[in-house]
A = this chain, B = another copy of it.
Amino acid sequence: MEMLRCVAELRLVDHHCHGVLEDDLGRADFESLLTEADTPAPGTTLFDSLSGLAVRRWCAPVLGLPPHAPADDYLARRAELGAPEVNRRFLRAAGLAALCVDTGFATGRLLSPERMAEESGAHAYEIVRLEQVAEEVAARHPSPREFAGAVRARLAERAADAVGVKSIAAYRAGLALPPIRPSDAEVTSAVERWLPTIGDDQPRLADMTLHAFLAWCGVDLGLPIQFHVGYGDADVNLHHCDPLLLTPWLRATAPHGTPVMLLHNYPYHRNAAYLAQVFPHVYADAGLATHNAAHRAPTVIAETLELIPFGKFLYSSDGYALPELHHLGALWFRRALDTFLRSGLDTGEWTHDDAEHIARLAGAENARRVYRLDERGPAAAGE
């Protein structure tokens, strides 16, 4: 199966991913990072999944093994090469022009944007996680009245070097953000409830008023705001993560024009595509679901492309910890785009020039335009 050249040779902008690990991983660790499951059921293995089959089929050759190598052979070869070499091979194989790295989770253990640039040979940019900034401020035990100002100030510092911010309201409180900007008094009173619960623990923000406050901080900054939407691990209440719950907030923020980036979206990807059609400031991708659905990613992405204008659809891997995921995200995104574009070429729905134009928009140009990548220096540039 020949892939369209305009898709095969396109260097992608991965507008949402995380760093990779440099630790060597045993089988249990690897399986726990492969999908959103923490652990397989008794008597089963997570290699028995579309994700696992894709690792054996498409990742094994990158490590010099035959396609479909057994899982244990794969992990043995991975250990033999060592994490740094494995990371480099997969991040190079992904064929990226740039990546936007969310630095707000498990930061110490994962490669920094600088190191991700180095290993991938691509430009790397930073995405600042709003809740992480707020939790950093909360850990200093400010007075509740000072909290909002301190968050705004710290966020301005952090965002100076970033191309976007990210909200994980979906994980902590759901996406039914109130459509009105919370008042300072409401923020203060939410902080008054929260701070005393922290003690010496690592603070964990999970309060709708505070998530809404942070999202409005993002609107004010004017940088694109990424929202985790839909599919995630067992901590998510997926029915509170339908992007349609964000509708009133999107209606309220539309006049500001700050781009809102709906990440992942599965299984609500058609809903996200609808929002991206009707709200000029809304964009969407099929992140995380791309490498999890693997062989089925072309269907998921085709469903997303029913309503979304091609100027609103982006590529992300949501790769985290395992560089295989950055590679498989790129591989399945390309195959999905190729399948979609060829299906229309076959029946004469569009021209080859149209196909090339759509591929460029979705794979790279939309991200460059929305994040203004060409107007700012990357956090780091790979060679």
Contact = CB atoms under 8 A, between A and B. Distances in A.
Interface of A: 1, 35-46, 48-50, 53-54, 56-57, 67-68, 231, 233-234, 237-239, 242, 244-245, 247-248, 251, 254, 257, 266-267, 270-271, 274, 277-281, 283, 289, 292-296, 299-300, 302-303, 305-312, 343-344, 347-351, 354, 357-358, 361, 369
Find the residue from A49, A247, A299, A348 having the highest chain B CB count within 10 A: A49
Contacts of A43: 311, 369
A307 B292 contact: yes
Contacts of A237: 244, 247-248
A311 B40 contact: yes
A244 B232 CA distance: 13
A306 B294 CA distance: 8
A231 B274 contact: yes
Contacts of A299: 302-303, 306
Contacts of A245: 239
A305 B50 CA distance: 8
B270 A267 contact: yes
A296 B283 CA distance: 20
Given A293-B306, A295-B349, A348-B67, A278 B311 contact: no
15 contacts: A35-B307, A41-B311, A41-B312, A44-B309, A48-B309, A48-B310, A48-B357, A49-B277, A49-B308, A53-B344, A53-B354, A233-B278, A266-B270, A293-B307, A299-B303
Contacts of A281: 41
B309 A278 contact: no
A295 B294 CA distance: 23
A179 to B, nearest CB: 11
Contacts of A50: 305-306
A233 B251 CA distance: 12
Nearest to A232: B278
A247 B39 CA distance: 17
B309 A49 contact: yes
A279 B350 contact: no
Given A41-B281, A48-B309, A302-B296, A238 B53 contact: no
A279 to B, nearest CB: 6
Given A44-B311, A238-B247, A299-B306, 5 more contacts: A40-B280, A41-B280, A68-B351, A267-B274, A300-B306
A53 B350 contact: yes
A53 B349 contact: yes
Contacts of A267: 270-271, 274
Nearest to A53: B350
B350 A274 contact: no
A45 to B, nearest CB: 7
Nearest to A52: B309
A277 B36 contact: yes
Given A35-B277, A41-B311, A306-B292, A48 B233 contact: no
